[in-house]
Amino acid sequence: MLKGKTAIVTGGTRGIGFSIVKRYLENGANVAIAGSRQESVEKAMENLGEYQGRVMGIWPNLGSPEEVAEAFASVKEKFGSLDILANNAGISSRTSLYDYTLEEFQKIVDINLTAVFICSQAAARIMKDQGGGVIINTSSMVGEYGQPSGCGYPATKFAVNGLTKSLARELAKDHIRVNAVAPGVTRTDMVAALPKEMVERISAGIPLGRMGEPLDIANAYLYLASDLASYVTGITLRVDGAAMT
Ligand code: NAD
């Protein structure tokens, strides 16, 4: 589905991001894993030996427009194009408003929102010049419902939805589609560490009766990146088993 295309996946070293990386590679794309540290990127790449030659690692500071632009240019240089950007990197928080520090709030905004702006700008500049591309952002079900603690996290995901709709309208003339995926609770390392009873309680509240797997989410990224979604732009695609909170 993505033969000959080149993708960058931020936060591609583990969890949902690593699943997107694998799904894109399985479907013929060249993929650059953008991680926060060289060691974690190299460790992730060790598990992708069979795709040698189609995968590379970059580790720009996602808060630096210069570092991101340079790293994205190196991806185009190596593979010849940049067709897909998956803005997946993110951090979460459960801190109560009463305890939230300004530093903690700013940190979550920096990674979950400002980095999406910086990476989208760098990618769009390349995509515009080459005649088009696809940007996929990562929202969350809490970007629709909010959550009862850690207000910074849902605030950034609501903002990602707004950025997605606005960039879709702005960049359509340049043949760049912009969409978001809103995962529900997904079985990544963080969730796997929760007590079994809690996992069962969360699963029972999901109409489809189970948590999402990283592959469930990665499949939505595959669809939106592919030509099957050629007339789809500006949406936030929920992949949450119809969960309501
Ligand atoms: P995870 O913690 O397993 O992975 C997050 C990834 O982001 C890691 O690779 C991490 O290195 C990377 N990252 C964090 N800060 C970074 C930085 N400053 N620079 C570069 N990379 C950075 O989390 P996950 O569950 O796989 O989440 C991935 C995305 O999906 C996030 O945006 C998250 O908000 C979203 N999401 C997850 C769930 C869930 O239940 N797991 C639900 C809804 C949305």
**Three-class DSSP category at 182:** strand
Which is it for the CA torsion 76, 225, 136, 212, positive or negative? negative
Ligand 1, CB within 6 Å, residue ranges? 10-11, 13-17, 35-36, 62, 88-92, 111, 138, 140, 183, 185-186, 188-191
- b/e map of 219-233 (b: 16 or more CB within 10 Å)? bbbbbbbbeebeeeb
CATH of the domain at 121: 3.40.50.720
Containing structural domain, residue 85: 6-239
Whether residue 228 is predicted with pLDDT greater than 80 in this model: the reply is yes
Instruction: Identify whether 235 is part of a domain.
Output: yes
Residues 136-184 have pLDDT tens digits of: 999 999 999 999 999 999 999 999 999 999 999 999 999 999 999 999 9
Reduce the DSSP state of residue 131 to 3 states and report it.
coil
Judge whether 82 lies within some domain: yes
Question: What is the β-pairing status of strands 84-87 and 133-138?
Answer: parallel
| Residue of 145, 153, 223, 231 marked catalytic | 153
Measured between alpha carbons, how far is 40 from 42 in angstroms, rounded to an integer?
5
For residue 245, being part of any structural domain is answered with no
| Residue 132 domain flag | yes
Residue 231 annotated as catalytic: no
Sorting pLDDT into bands at 50, 70 and 90, what band is 195? confident
**1 found inside a domain:** no
DSSP class of 213: P
Number of domains the chain is built from: 1
